[in-house]
Amino acid sequence: MNQGEAEAKCNEEGAVLAGVLNQDEVNWMADTKTTRSSSRISNRRRFENQCSLRPPKSQFETKTPRYRLKKKELKAMPPEQKIDHVRHQNLKNSAKYRQRQKVKLAEKEIIVEELEAELKQAETESMEMENEYKGTEIDFFLKDAITHNGHHLENLNPSITDKYTSFLNQARILQVWDAITYETVPLPIIIHDYIATYTRMSNNRRSVAAVYLEDYGYTLKFPFSPVIADVLGRYHPIEVCAVRIQRPSVNSDID
């Protein structure tokens, strides 16, 4: 490379010459040009070789895969290729839909199994509580206890009624209630007056049997038996009164 070629090269690359170049500088620029040219040629050849190894791009190929083609691309496709594309998308969509349905069905089955397990556990706990309740408390009708002890409801003397009155007011008696009216009987007292009234008017006295027949439609089997009066002034036949007591059994306390 001579002086003129070196100056021309500097002008092409936008370099500014600071004085006249000596022979060493001219030779250095010639070596640099050769090296740069050879590196550019090798890079270009490498790129061309890589491009030749790649498969040819389709007209409808995109850089990033999409779920479906655009309308313009779909219209530009040949009919046969369009049919294949639509068929492939339909099969793909149906497969994904079936897969989603399988996943949802599996999740529902898991939820059903969990609910069934919780229901079984609740039933088990309920049975345990019921057994525990049955083991600690007893419900019975007072007339059954009286007849079990050999007494007749319509032939009870005052000493026997006093005994049952004290029994009904024990601390272990949890509740006494009327099975017909569903009313609680507080502080029960057994009396022999079977003629009862709720208004305590002298001209409006009715028997307990008449009250239960007219007001509640229940016919007493023992209309002349003593009745149970509570602290509120209400009268209840013995045969319809139920008792809830804690263990031990009732007979040991009544006898």
Amino acid at 20: V
Which pLDDT belongs to residue 55? Answer: 54
Which pLDDT belongs to residue 249? Answer: 47
Peptide bond into 248 cis (omega under 30): yes
Predicted confidence pLDDT, tens digits, the chain (255 residues)? 566 666 666 566 555 555 545 566 656 555 554 444 555 556 666 666 665 555 555 544 444 444 455 667 767 777 777 777 777 777 777 777 788 888 888 999 999 999 999 999 999 888 887 776 665 788 899 999 999 988 888 888 889 999 999 999 998 898 999 999 999 999 999 987 666 554 455 566 778 888 889 889 999 998 888 899 999 888 899 999 999 988 764 444 444
Q: Edge-to-edge strands of the sheet including 227-229?
A: 189-191, 227-229, 235-237
Task: Please state, as a whole number, how many other Cβ atoms lie within 10 Å of the Cβ of residue 52.
Answer: 7
Q: What is the largest CA-CA distance in the chain?
A: 152
Which pLDDT belongs to residue 70? Answer: 62
What is the rounded CA–CA span in Å between residue 197 and residue 206?
Answer: 6
> Which neighbouring-strand residues pair with 245?
138, 173
Closest CA to 72 of 63, 64, 57, 62: 62
What is the rounded CA–CA span in Å between residue 75 and residue 79?
Answer: 9
Closest CA to 180 of 130, 234, 224: 234
What is the rounded CA–CA span in Å between residue 162 and residue 212?
Answer: 25
Q: Which residues does 241 contact at the CB level (< 8 Å), separation at least 6?
A: 141, 142, 143, 176, 177, 178, 179, 185, 188, 228
What is the rounded CA–CA span in Å between residue 73 and residue 58?
Answer: 12
What is the rounded CA–CA span in Å between residue 167 and residue 56?
Answer: 105
Closest CA to 173 of 182, 160, 181, 164: 164
Q: Is residue 253 a contact partner of residue 145, using CB atoms and an 8 Å limit?
A: no
Residue 11 region, left (φ>0) first, then alpha (ψ -120 to 50), else beta?
alpha
Which pLDDT belongs to residue 241? Answer: 94
